[in-house]
Every structure is written in C-alpha cells, then in structure tokens.
Structure 1
Amino acid sequence: MSNCLHLAIPAGDLNIAKTFYCDVLGCKTGNSEQGRWIDIDFWGNELTLHQSVERLPTVRHDVDMGAVAVPHFGIHLSENEFNALKQRIESAGLEYLDKPYRRFIGDEFEQETFFIEDPNGNVLEMKTMVNPEVLFKKS
C-alpha cells in the first residue's frame, strides 16, 4: 500500500455513505471507529468517510465539456469496469450530476467521464481512458 492516496471527506450519515460506496460503487470497507469514521478501499486508495453534519461547498469551473463541479475526486477505470459501474449506478436509480461524456475524441487523451454525487454531496468524477499510458506522458 505504499504510494496510495489518502483522502478524508465529510460523509454525512456513515450508514448511508457506506451503502453508496460499497453497494453501488463496489468498494470494500477497512478500518473504522463506530459512529466517527470508516475507511473505504477506493480502488486501492484509502478514502476515509467521516460522520458529519456539514457538506463541502462546490462551484463550477469551465472546461472543454462545460462547467464541472469543483472540488471533486475520482478514479480511472478500465473500460469494462467503467461500463459495469455505469450499469450499477443506473440500476440503483441514481442520477448523474453530469451525464457520461466522451472528450478529446481522436486525441491520445480520449476518455469517457461522468460526475455523480455521494449522499453527502461530495462530487466524484469517474473516467476511462482509451490510452491510459499517456496520462502523465511528458511533452
């Protein structure tokens, strides 16, 4: 687990948040402190959900695909994992904050992305890249 990202966020009701992250997104739980926080294995990264009453404020920033919600976090998935996740989201009856969108078509950075909110309003961007090996390619 060296070089794994750790992110702690206000999650509202932990039971509701755990259902979203585990049952819908397909993550697993880790360590926890009852009623205070729970670690989620967010595709090999440590996402700590904190019991809270507050929500993070979001704003919209303009990018090529429109105005996206900031702050946000997410994960890059293989195309199969990405499509399976879209199916789980749709089967759960959840609505996209920003519907799936293909960007940079024909470019080496071509990708499909969508944004969703967790039950506490935290924004997640999920994406799949046609050529993931170019993500940090130096120009």
Structure 2
Amino acid sequence: MSNCFHLAIPAGDLNLAKKFYCDVLGCKSGNSEEGHWVDIDFWGNELTLHQSEERLPKVRHEVEMGSVLVPHFGIHLSDGAFQALKERIETAGIAYLDKPYRRFTDSKYEQETFFIEDPNGNILEMKTLVNPKILFKVD
C-alpha cells in the first residue's frame, strides 16, 4: 500500500483539463471512465478529474505575504523541477494568478511559490523549498 494522496475535483471539460495537466504541467494520465473521470499522476499523488458543470467557489485569505486564493492545492517540487515547470507554464502562455515570489526569505522555511488555475478555475499553488527536509519538523 502506498502513501499517495488522493484528491477528486470538478474539472469541467475532461479533454481540456487532461490537456492542461498532461501537456502543460507534464503529468501522466491513468485509469479513466470515458466522459466521467480521469486519474492524473500528480507527482506521485492521485488527482481525479471529474467531468462537471460546476466550479468551486474561491476567496482570498490574508496571510503574511498578502492574500492567497482558497481553496487551492499543489505540490512541493525540487528546485530543478520547479524551474522547469515555470518554463513549461510560461511557454504555454498560462497566466499566473500570483506570479512567482519568495516567502520566508533568509529563514529555514524559505520557499519560492506561484499560483495558477486550471481550465475549470481550480487553483494550484506550486512550491520549491530551499530546505525541503524542514517541511514537517517541529522546533
């Protein structure tokens, strides 16, 4: 049994969503039920895209660097994978909701992050940590 995370989201048009996750982000597709859902290998986690009419509501929540869109999900990547992903997004002409920026600079929690949205308006936050080993350590 693996410890991968599973998340199912409304995806709008499945073909459009699958193109975004596979062609733009570089993920791979897996099991599916034509016209209903498709599994995406989201960096080792199972993201299930469901054909839908609805979109999730979103609001901005205040945090130390400003306001962030909620709900959102994402992934922590190595710096190399993160920089390559930024290049893929920019090459594809995907607009950033929040452009790449650094948080917690000069601290053990320093990270670079950005926010984008998929074709159905689901918000993704992509991150790279300067010190990834610190992620779940308690002081």
Report the TM range for the smaller structure's normalisation: over 0.9
State TM-score, norm by structure 2. 0.99
Give unmatched runs, 5+ long, in structure 1: none
Q: Report the secondary structure of 2:31's partner residue.
A: strand
Looking at structure 1, the residues matched to 55 and 45 of structure 2 have their Cα atoms a distance apart, in angstroms, of 22
Aligned partners of 2:73, 2:60: CA distance in 1, in Å?
A: 14
- Report the Cα distance in structure 1 between the residues aligned to 2:111 and 2:30, rounded to whole angstroms: 30
Partner of 1:109: 109
Shift of 1:27: 0.2
> Residue 81 of structure 1 corresponds to which residue in structure 2?
81
Report what 1:97 is aligned to: 97
Tell me what 1:28 maps to. 28
Query: Which runs of structure 2 are paired with 1:53-64 in the superposition (5 Å)?
Result: 53-64=53-64
State the secondary structure of the residue aligned to 1:38.
Answer: strand
Q: Aligned with 1:121: secondary structure?
A: coil
Aligned equivalents of 1:80, 1:63: Cα separation in 2: 27
Q: Deviation of residue 2 (structure 1)?
A: 1.1
Deviation at 1:3, TM superposition (A): 1.0
Distance in 1 of aligned mates of 2:82 and 2:126: 8
Question: Structure 1 CA distance, aligned partners of 2:64 and 2:92?
Answer: 29
What displacement does 1:65 show?
1.6
Q: Unaligned stretches of 5+ in structure 2?
A: none
Task: Give the RMSD, CA atoms, in angstroms.
Answer: 0.6
| Count of residue correspondences | 139
Percent identity over paired residues: 77
Query: In structure 1, how many angstroms separate the alpha carbons of the residues matched to 2:64 and 2:124?
Result: 18
For residues 2-28 of structure 1, give each alpha carbon's deviation from its aligned partner in whole angstroms, at most 9, with x where no partner exists.
111000000000000000000000000
Letter in 1 for 2:34: Q
What is the CA-CA distance between 1:127 and the residue it aligns to? Answer: 0.3
Aligned to 1:10: 10
Return the offset for 1:86.
Answer: 0.3
The residue type paired with residue 66 of structure 1 is: G
Name the aligned partner's letter for residue 65 of structure 2.
Answer: M
What is the rounded CA distance, in whole Å, between the counterparts of 1:65 and 1:81 in structure 2? 24
